Structure 1
Amino acid sequence: MKKFLLITYYWPPSGGAGVMRWAKMTKYIPEFGWQPVVYTPSDNEVAVHDESLLTEISPDLKIIKTPIWEPYDIYKAFLGRKKKEKLYSGFINENKKESLAQKISVFVRGNFFIPDARMFWIKPSIQYLKKYLRDYPVDAIISTGPPHSMHMIADALHKSTGIPWIADFRDPWTNIDFYKDLRLTKWGDARHHRLEKRILTNASKVVAVTWRMGDEFKELSSRNDIEVILNGFDDADYKSADAATLDKEFTIVHVGSMNKDRNPEVLWKAIQQAIFLSDPLKEKIKIKLIGPADFSVRESIEKFGLKDYTSFIEFVPHADAVKIQQKAQLLLLLINDAPSSLSIIPGKLYEYLGSGRPVLSIGPSESDSAKVIEMANGGVVHDYDDLEGIKKRILEYFTLYQSDQLIGSSEGTGKFTRKERARDFAGLLDKII
């Protein structure tokens, strides 16, 4: 069987969105003639641990681990935070508004840790893997980022060995929503763009996870062969889950992190007004926000009088998240209100579709996320400013809930399975060798 080396920062028992694409891909891709060899840090700093994901990993999978040094202990000490305190990506501040120390740390992060704080693992990894590949050859290399330091490792290996290399981008680099918050100097911004273009130019193939991201990479790299391989859901997760009995309350559930750009006040205002118009809704509604939430989200919930209806749950294992989604009356998809909003497809959307429950999305109606929802017949999309439309939709869904008629659709979801995405990646690997 042909082999490829996968270079990834996130790997079980790391939890969260960053790990799912390749934990699932390595599960299914051997069925299509490719055996992965995983290279990942042995002691990396991650915000979420999910031991349940270890059950996804085949005992036959070869996993190589080497130590990584990251500057997070220094960062925590500078901010006066405890050594064991979790750090969340995506600019989530749980406690207070940004302090001067936080502003300085963001400046250092953006301008000195380029492409990211895992940069100190690049050279040791190149040295280690050059020797490893001489002893244990592979047919291809795949790097997945962010963090984009993984691509820097693969770029050097590709240059020195000539092994074909796929750069897999789960998120954009300079077009990511929080890039504007990095307090970049002209020099820092130029270096990020220069390294991004280098990776996009040098890779044998570049893969994006959304259509518009692929178009953006074409413009940045002047190459027309950018591939798009979407994320998906693992239907085995839903087949193995206990048969879900729907929540008795009218539950509106969001699974995943919520930063300040993913906090649509129009939604909270619409819910507030809907509750005012409907006493039965007031008695039955329950909002569940599962995952780390920025302080601004909590402020908005209180501002619109929804605190008593809302529960915040910082983390649940993936297996439990699947069950929660299946039991929810309504699933909430929030697209970041940011310049990159059109190109965002949160990985949770595919899992929402796998659950078979209806999806209410707040974001651009012409976005890639909206396209997936339409293709799967999975729910509805309302723009950020559509207060009346959102309020009306919530009341309509509640009426359906009252008569046990609030159902989802699974007729178009088959094309979005993890197994199909593994088939796509295997086909691309076959092309480049």
Structure 2
Amino acid sequence: MKKLLILAYDFPPYVSVGGLRPYNWYRYLKEYGIEPIVVTRQWSNTHKSALDYIARGHSDQTITEVSEYGTVLYAPYTPTLSNRLLYRHGNNKYSYLRKSLTATHDFKQFLWISGAKREIYETAKKYLQKNPVDMIIATGDPFVLFLYAKKLGKEFHTPWIADYRDPWSQDKRVQANILFHNWNKMLEKKIVSTSVGITTVSGIMKYKLQEYFPQKNIYIIPNGYDPEAVSTVSKIPQSTDKLTISFVGTIYEWHPWRSFLKEFSDFIEQGEERDIQLNLYGINIETEIRKTIDELPEKSRNAIQICPKLSNMELLSRLARENVMLLFNDYSILGTKIFDYLGTRRKILLCYANDEDALRLKEAHYTIDEVDGMSKQLQVDLIRETNAGVIAENVTHLKQLLDELHQEFREKGKIECASTGVENYSRKIQVKKLADIVQSL
């Protein structure tokens, strides 16, 4: 059985969509003849918020866990000074100092093995000194893991794969500063050119990467849903008390969340009593959203609940009880949450396909350079392909859809979802693709 060393920064018990991709490699690779060894950092998941990302590890020694699926090595973690200041004083103090420290750290970590992520490299190196593997894969970001994979591959004569969940130097936020962009572009080409192959999550990512690496084999391995977790919660019935609409995870600057909250509030305040609730799970800009909610009328405020971050299993159990899943348009990005929505077989409500204000937000804040001739509505395409939900064209259409969903719930006590072909988006199927790549390289 071939052995694959996986360098992954995000990994359970830390709750993040980025951690689900390497976790499912770990969970299913053995079924396809690959033994996984994951090297990650120590996570506590005690705060159930963004603080978990910057909290200190719970041991100065590597913690090793061996299971029927493979091995996980949890490296010690000491936060950077910037993160220690953030942890102690919050987001509003020492902002300029923290940004300066972070920029210095991000620059230095590529010049020599240093900084908060260094222990992942050291732990992997110690393991490889006694335990040879057949291949290494590093999933980014953080993209310094690609540097670690390159160095380890060279020292131990082991080929490595670069897995892109997001763009590196082609990210618009990186491109905004010409010096920072050129520095990252140089690093990216120098490091990734030494890999034996590249994997990524979508067609547009593959297209962009081929501009930099035209001679490389680039494979698309989409994200998906956890089939075991979904099977476990599949028997949980929908809520019958009130119509529940739920959103999960990160809200980006191009997401029209203010528009949705306004229309949701107007729907509640106008006309008859509305038995409806909006649940927001594990969102990233809680303070800003709470401020907006506090300005709404009382009935609307009482109909919106912000929930803490939950483990993937806890989250899916909650989502199985919900009636409708809210999704904001990410245009050329499929993202991850849509797959969990598909797996739970609850109707998806996407906002918006063609709303003027939403498109202005996209113009101002969207971080992906889109490609002529490639779809700019990937989520819309997938929802239509699977018949998994409804697409609000704009604010006016959202008003109509909220009314239709509310009426259906009152008549049937649930919201029906007649999705088809969802099983094709199981993470287990996507892991087989990775196993085939490892076996062939």
Q: Does 1:264 align with 2:257?
A: yes
CA distance in 2, matches of 1:133, 1:24: 22
On the 8 A contact 1:233/1:418 being kept in 2, the answer is: yes
| Match in the other structure for 1:29 | 29
Deviation at residue 420 of structure 1 after TM alignment = 0.1
| Match in the other structure for 2:164 | 169
Superposition RMSD on alpha carbons, in Å?
3.1
| Match in the other structure for 1:352 | 341
| Match in the other structure for 1:109 | 102
CA distance in 1, matches of 2:324, 2:98: 39
CA distance in 1, matches of 2:41, 2:52: 15
Shift in CA distance, 37/350, structure 1 to aligned 2, threshold 3 Å: same
Shift in CA distance, 119/307, structure 1 to aligned 2, threshold 3 Å: farther
User: TM-score w.r.t. structure 1 length?
Assistant: 0.81
Q: Does 1:252 align with 2:245?
A: yes
On the 8 A contact 2:5/2:137 being kept in 1, the answer is: yes
Shift in CA distance, 284/275, structure 1 to aligned 2, threshold 3 Å: same
CA distance in 1, matches of 2:127, 2:28: 25
Q: 2:207 aligns with which of 211, 215, 237?
A: 215
Q: SS in structure 1 opposite 2:14?
A: coil
Shift in CA distance, 275/42, structure 1 to aligned 2, threshold 3 Å: closer
Gaps of 5+ in 1: 50-55, 86-92, 94-98, 336-340
Q: SS in structure 1 opposite 2:223?
A: coil
CA distance in 1, matches of 2:388, 2:327: 11
Q: Does 1:298 align with 2:290?
A: yes
Q: Which moved more, 1:142-151 or 1:192-201?
A: 192-201
CA distance in 1, matches of 2:384, 2:396: 21
Deviation at residue 353 of structure 1 after TM alignment = 0.5
Shift in CA distance, 19/214, structure 1 to aligned 2, threshold 3 Å: same
On the 8 A contact 1:260/1:296 being kept in 2, the answer is: no
Q: 1:275 aligns with which of 268, 274, 297?
A: 268
Q: How far does the alpha carbon of each residue in 1:120-167 deviate from its partner, in whole angstroms, 9 at most, with x for none?
A: 266665565455434321111111111212111001122334422111
Deviation at residue 359 of structure 1 after TM alignment = 0.6
Deviation at residue 231 of structure 1 after TM alignment = 0.8
Deviation at residue 415 of structure 1 after TM alignment = 0.5
Gaps of 5+ in 2: 54-64, 355-375
CA distance in 2, matches of 1:315, 1:111: 30
Shift in CA distance, 315/115, structure 1 to aligned 2, threshold 3 Å: farther
Q: Does 1:284 align with 2:268?
A: no
On the 8 A contact 2:15/2:309 being kept in 1, the answer is: no
On the 8 A contact 2:386/2:421 being kept in 1, the answer is: yes
How many residues align? The count is 398
Q: SS in structure 1 opposite 2:267?
A: helix
CA distance in 2, matches of 1:363, 1:291: 22
CA distance in 2, matches of 1:328, 1:300: 24
Write out aligned runs for 1:19-418 (5 A).
19-42=19-42, 47-48=51-52, 58-59=67-68, 61-71=70-80, 74-76=81-83, 78-79=85-86, 81-82=87-88, 99=92, 101-110=94-103, 112-114=105-107, 120=115, 126=121, 129-130=124-125, 132-176=127-171, 179=174, 185-223=177-215, 225-241=217-233, 243-247=235-239, 248-280=241-273, 283-294=274-285, 295-305=287-297, 306-335=300-329, 341-364=330-353, 366-382=376-392, 386-404=394-412, 406-418=415-427
| Match in the other structure for 1:52 | none
Q: Match for 1:37: what amino acid?
A: I
On the 8 A contact 2:4/2:34 being kept in 1, the answer is: yes
Shift in CA distance, 357/415, structure 1 to aligned 2, threshold 3 Å: same
On the 8 A contact 1:23/1:57 being kept in 2, the answer is: no
Q: How far does the alpha carbon of each residue in 1:33-82 deviate from its partner, in whole angstroms, 9 at most, with x for none?
A: 11111122346897449xxxxxx9834522234334430xx225545x52
Shift in CA distance, 326/124, structure 1 to aligned 2, threshold 3 Å: closer
User: TM-score w.r.t. structure 2 length?
Assistant: 0.80
On the 8 A contact 1:167/1:199 being kept in 2, the answer is: no
Q: Give the percent of matched residue pairs that are identical in Structure 1 and Structure 2.
A: 22
Shift in CA distance, 415/77, structure 1 to aligned 2, threshold 3 Å: closer
CA distance in 2, matches of 1:40, 1:233: 22
Shift in CA distance, 77/420, structure 1 to aligned 2, threshold 3 Å: closer
| Match in the other structure for 1:338 | none
Deviation at residue 291 of structure 1 after TM alignment = 0.7
Q: Match for 1:291: what amino acid?
A: G
On the 8 A contact 2:43/2:52 being kept in 1, the answer is: no
Q: Which moved more, 1:249-258 or 1:115-124?
A: 115-124
